[in-house]
Amino acid sequence: MTDSDKELSPENQIEAARKAFEQEFERFARFTGDSSTLAGLDLETAVAEERALGELRTRHTGKKSVLAATKKLIGRVAPEQRAGFGQLVQSTEAALVQSLDLAEQTLKNYITDERTARESIDVTLPGRRPRRGHRHPITLMRERLEDIFVSLGYVIEDGREIETDFYNFTALNIPENHPACGKADTFYTTDGFALRSQTSTVQIHAMQRRGVPVRMIAPGRVFRRDTPDPTHNPMFFQVEGLCVDRGITMAHLKGTVGELLRRMFGPDTVTRFRPSYFPFTEPSAEFDFSCFKCKGSGCRICKNSGWIELGGSGMVHPNVLRVVGADPQEYSGFAFGFGIDRMCGLMYELDDIRLLFENDVRFLEKFE
């Protein structure tokens, strides 16, 4: 018998197929024993082994396998050998399939058990909390201010951000030739409307709608043609306060601003007023408060002066009262305004207020 005869011999082909299978199946043999031998096998490996076992099954028992090819030889062997050969093919195939089935079943059971164990809920574990957002530092500051003024009997007014020249300037006693009206200071839409340059515009709307007496604050966005730098933004938040009634004096203004600052920065806070000029108030004053950080001895926040400048104020100009139909002989009032961003910058000791609008979550997260 030559080597090629040997290769062609159907019995030898079956023997070769069985040997090739056994060689490859060796690594899966551990899955045919007691399932406890699998302890410690991780789920991902078990799933990969199950897939590899399926591929092995296809290779050795599939339509293109050597075993399938030998089945086709059954009809070609000599009739007297046919039955014996047929039985050999059958028993070989049965042995292969049995090994495969056993290993596959063991793996399948193991995978099912592992998945169940993994998915079972441990009620003692902490849940996965969704990441919570929170309000912006300017919103938090605005709400603190609103709470204080509501407790003082003020209403909160909301105003439009785009205004006519009448509300942004004329009604506020700002003459047409005033530099604030120019395009160098104020943003204008192509239709000639102004983006309000101060929240004082809301005073006019509120007094026209509510009449006098009135006590209101108007927090909101304002716009000015400023080049952004660490202390300036072309868009920022202001809060405007207005109180008009019979017999309102500068003393009421000082008392109100003082009360606000004591509530914001502590009961020892001292307020001071410096004469100033604003078109819509007469007399006008800027107000400062004693530094909350160093209590007046001088530090970086107050630039060693002991005082922090905050806003502008004054007695409502008679022309403003006339515009809304209130008689300046009968009514008087005070108004004040300051920046919410500036107050945020001070309280949180920000070196650069532009941070407030850059929407960097790492920065904003600090203000929960």
The reply to whether omega before 279 is within 30° of 0 (cis) is no
**Whether the Cβ atoms of residue 174 and residue 181 lie closer than 8 Å to each other:** yes
Segment 6-65, which members bind Zn ion (CB under 5 A)? none
Shorter beta-carbon distance to Zn ion: residue 180 or 301: 301
CA 294 to chain CA mean position, Å:
35
CA 353 to chain CA mean position, Å:
20
Could you say whether residue 347 binds Zn ion (CB under 5 A)? Answer: no
- As measured in angstroms, the least distance from the Cβ of 330 to Zn ion is 43
- As measured in angstroms, the least distance from the Cβ of 254 to Zn ion is 22
Q: What is the DSSP letter of 216?
A: E
- As measured in angstroms, the least distance from the Cβ of 281 to Zn ion is 28
Stretch that binds Zn ion, among 87-95, 110-118, 263-271, 302-310 (CB under 5 A): 302-310
Could you say whether residue 302 binds Zn ion (CB under 5 A)? Answer: yes
Shorter beta-carbon distance to Zn ion: residue 194 or 302: 302
**Whether the Cβ atoms of residue 206 and residue 242 lie closer than 8 Å to each other:** yes
Stretch that binds Zn ion, among 60-68, 79-87, 249-257, 294-302 (CB under 5 A): 294-302
- As measured in angstroms, the least distance from the Cβ of 225 to Zn ion is 31
The size of the interface with Zn ion (CB under 5 A), counted in residues, is: 6
Shorter beta-carbon distance to Zn ion: residue 141 or 346: 346
Shorter beta-carbon distance to Zn ion: residue 214 or 308: 308
Single residue of 294, 347, 355, 364 touching Zn ion by CB under 5 A: 294
**Whether the Cβ atoms of residue 262 and residue 281 lie closer than 8 Å to each other:** no
Single residue of 108, 224, 262, 293 touching Zn ion by CB under 5 A: 293
How many Å apart are CA 171 and CA 32, to the nearest integer?
93
Task: Find the residue with minimal CB distance to Zn ion.
Answer: 291
Could you say whether residue 299 binds Zn ion (CB under 5 A)? Answer: yes
Nearest to 259 by CA among 349, 338, 145: 145
Shorter beta-carbon distance to Zn ion: residue 163 or 288: 288
**Whether the Cβ atoms of residue 222 and residue 237 lie closer than 8 Å to each other:** yes
Contacts of 150 (CB under 8 A, 6+ apart): 156
Segment 233-292, which members bind Zn ion (CB under 5 A)? 291
How many Å apart are CA 162 and CA 187, to the nearest integer?
10
Shorter beta-carbon distance to Zn ion: residue 294 or 355: 294
- As measured in angstroms, the least distance from the Cβ of 269 to Zn ion is 12
Dihedral in degrees, nearest 10, Cα atoms 130, 132, 133, 139: 160
The torsion angles phi and psi of 154, rounded to 5 degrees, stand at -90, 150
Shorter beta-carbon distance to Zn ion: residue 206 or 308: 308
Shorter beta-carbon distance to Zn ion: residue 333 or 345: 345
Based on C-alpha coordinates, what's the Rg of the chain? 43
Name 308's bridge partners.
Answer: 289
For 286, the 3-state DSSP assignment is: strand
Shorter beta-carbon distance to Zn ion: residue 102 or 299: 299
- As measured in angstroms, the least distance from the Cβ of 308 to Zn ion is 7
Could you say whether residue 310 binds Zn ion (CB under 5 A)? Answer: no
How many Å apart are CA 323 and CA 325, to the nearest integer?
6
Binding mask 84-103 for Zn ion (x = CB under 5 A): --------------------
Helix 10-25 / helix 79-119 crossing angle, nearest 10 deg: 10
- As measured in angstroms, the least distance from the Cβ of 292 to Zn ion is 8
- As measured in angstroms, the least distance from the Cβ of 343 to Zn ion is 15
Shorter beta-carbon distance to Zn ion: residue 220 or 311: 311
- As measured in angstroms, the least distance from the Cβ of 287 to Zn ion is 16
- Rounded to 5°, angle at Cα 231 from 226 and 236: 60
| CB environment 37-60: b (16+ within 10 A), e (fewer) | ebeebeeeebeebbeebeebbeeb
- As measured in angstroms, the least distance from the Cβ of 286 to Zn ion is 18
Could you say whether residue 295 binds Zn ion (CB under 5 A)? Answer: no
Interface residues with Zn ion (CB under 5 A) are 291, 293-294, 299, 301-302
